[in-house]
A and B are shown apart, each in its own frame.
Chain A
Amino acid sequence: MLAELGLAMLWLAAALAGLQLVAGSVALTKDGEGLGGIVRPVAVVQGVLAAAAFASLIWLFVQTDTSVKLVAENSHSAKPLIYKIAGTWGNHEGSMLLWVTVMGLAGGFVALVERRLPERTMMATLAGQAFVSLGFYAFLLFASNPFQRLNPAPQEGNGLNPLLQDPGLAFHPPTLYLGYVGLSIAFSFAIGALVTREVGPAFARAMRPWVLGAWIFLTLGITAGSYWAYYMLGWGGWWFWDPVENASLMPWLAATALLHSASVLAARNALRAWTVMLGVVAFSMSMVGTFLVRSGILTSVHAFAVDPRRGGFILALLAINIGAALVLFALRAGTVTEGERFEVTSREASLVFNNVMLSSILGIVLLGTLYPLVTEAMGVKVSVGPPYFTPMSAVFAVPMLVVLAIGPLLRWRHDRFKRVSPVLAAPLAVTIIAAIGFAVGGVTSTMSLIALSLAPGLAVASVLPLRGRHLGRAPLSLWGMVIAHLGLAVALFGMGADGAFTKERLIAARVGESVDVGPWQVKLGAITPVAGPNWTALEADLVASYDGASPDHLKPQSRTFWAPPQTTSVSALHTRWNGQLYTVLGEETHDASSAAMPTGRWQLRLWWKPFVPMIWLGGILVALGGFLALLSRVRQDLKRRTVRARGDIRRGDREEREAA
């Protein structure tokens, strides 16, 4: 009964999205203004209904109702509760339902709180949001119904991909989705502003908190995903340039560019067409990424729920949504003037430069992700990996990081380089000293050397905007920027350290044997079988001591799940302030002459990775910076409303301009 109820609510939500589109569009015409009143309430109810449909699917998973096809295919009664819940979105249909739910809720929230845009633009925005949602509703209802029944119902479900049975990953997709779909709001705002030709500071200010929010979730999602791959896949790497990873990186790059260009538009009324374009591109990248991952068109080490039949449907959605937006852009962008001017040495110019660099990296990642497709169509199978992506993106990332150090010190509109050059002496000196130090210290990899020398300089430059200020009274948005840029420097240092300092040992050890890796001595203490709720495993007891200090025990496992049957290795990590010891237990080795003859030697893979956790610490700092900036925007917004209520509009606007 619950499944039918969920499906009914989904249909109703879809119908309301249709109503929202029609009423919102009619409200834009002269005769239809009266209809505008219903658009906001409809948007809210649509969001609530989508959320209720999603909630019923979660409940079906919690109960392991195997009469529902999706549950039978992806869950199992023996699974821990948290993974039953996570199983809801750990599959194609469920994740698409999560997608429309987040879209619906976000649209409803915009309808409730956003009051500063002109009403006509707001109607166009909500109609745009409904237009995009409708496609996804149609996709769910006609091509991938999550509530489909199975008759007869199997006694037991198939289980969830064991790789997904990890607390980090259970919450990773929803985090990314909040990011992807948050960008749909930016997209809708861009459509709304283009339709009514109201591309100005008000549009940028209305859109900015949404972009910030989506960007924070994307940052956290990418950071968590990278850490997950690092400790779960047991290969010790933190970024693979896999299509699935690129699918989340591309919208992040576009959103980062959008964030900065929206700041220019909000503060200086410049970069209008560019900002609108990025609004369209950012969400397009979310959709393109989803399409590439879900359609099975690209092979990936971790593409889940791949189905080429559905690829056609998502492609059609993509073509309609993005195609329509780009046509609108081409028709209208010419009527949107570029706004205020600025000079080459100015805050705006540095942000334009950052935008161009980010877009170039985006282009490179997109090209590299699609290239195997092109060659496969011509009959050649290739895979494009780190040898292409890393140096190509570094070509643009390095100049961007240099300008990132200078830009925040420049004034809006025009500045003299002479004014800031003395201030830049400090970060420059730190960079040169670091470069010499690491080169002399034996770092031979060029990439690592660049990262390790730029990072400290960038860190110093990041905090320079705070100099001469009373730290407690510096605006929150300034703190946000400083911390985000500092986080980038921290992450950069971790990336460089990984390439430069990592020590690796791969051995076949008997119980009782010891091995050195970097400053660690690791002894294989014992191999014991252990059992979990739905797996059995062999567990190694590794006794690891750092520089002769009292030892720590690490317990990596080689784990076998039985529903569905699959073996994965669960690494064990020990984190110190100066790095991480990473251990993986492999198979027992076998005699060369007879495959079935065990030798009593176990494969052990050990890494000592100095400073590598800084990669993810940096990611968290970047997200924290975004959060502070968002907090400051929301606070200003509330203040502005109070000020406006007092009728003192000018003061509010001036404050906002200063803080931007």
Chain B
Amino acid sequence: MNLEIILHAGLATGTILLFAAIGEIFSERAGVLNLGVEGMMLMGAMAGFSTSLSTGNVWLGLLAALIAGGILSLAHGLVTIHFQADQVVSGLSLTFLGTGLALVLGEGLTGKNPPLVPSFSIPGLEAIPFIGPVFFTNHSLLVYVGYLFAPLAWYYIFHTRPGLHLRAVGEKPDAADTMGVSVYGLRYLYVFIGGCLAGLAGATISLSVSPGWYSAQTTSGQGWIAVGLVIFAQWNPLRAAFGAYLFGALRRGILDLQGPAILLGMKNPLYVNSNFGFFLQMTPYILTILALVIGSRQAARKRLGAPAALGLPYIRGERGL
């Protein structure tokens, strides 16, 4: 159990949640709750894996993952933005649709070896003690992209003009409409971006972190954990990144607990009976619940909450609803 190794692997695992959670933040900041993350991720994992396999080009694979997640999210956009359907139910159907479609199209992909996203070290930075080996040595390109992505997303949402419009659409769509901001257009755009990022998160699994296609086990609920993280992060990309890496490290640490025979000077119960590992496997899900309890209580105390119009369809001409 080497802390450097756990944190190193945790960053890679956390990158999956990071992309998915920030994608969901974009969508929810625009007022559209999309519970289809799990389905879009699975679709992205399948499309990325299968495209990389068939073309032999991993970049085309990543592009396919982005597009697959994005296109799938548009179904949710159409149904919730134009047809004003319930966002919860539509998101659930998107999960079914995405999962089903990924399983149908992903038939026969198991056990194949496509080109994967390359890993490399950052020269110079890798020499820093501790920080270097953990953050800058032999990581997938996607992990490095993730480092930059969270601060950029944060800056975009809170400190740019388009970011202001994005928040306005999610907080006060009627006011945004009056100011000439296209509520429908922006909602479609950010739902699409959220879908693209969920697809990328899926490809991060299948083409980088745990390469391969294992049908529904590929994501094993990480899409839902990402949705939970968004609430914990109170719709802030930086908090989401922190949560994602924390979760990634914990997930990895838990895996590594099953290795050593002696733990804290005692015989490791997991070494004696590997079935105790089932309890360890529960921890990410239990932690998600705990994170939600903490996040919800903080939100209640500080009155920091969801975007005001989250989950509500916007209907033109019915202002002040």
Q: Do A and B bind each other?
A: no
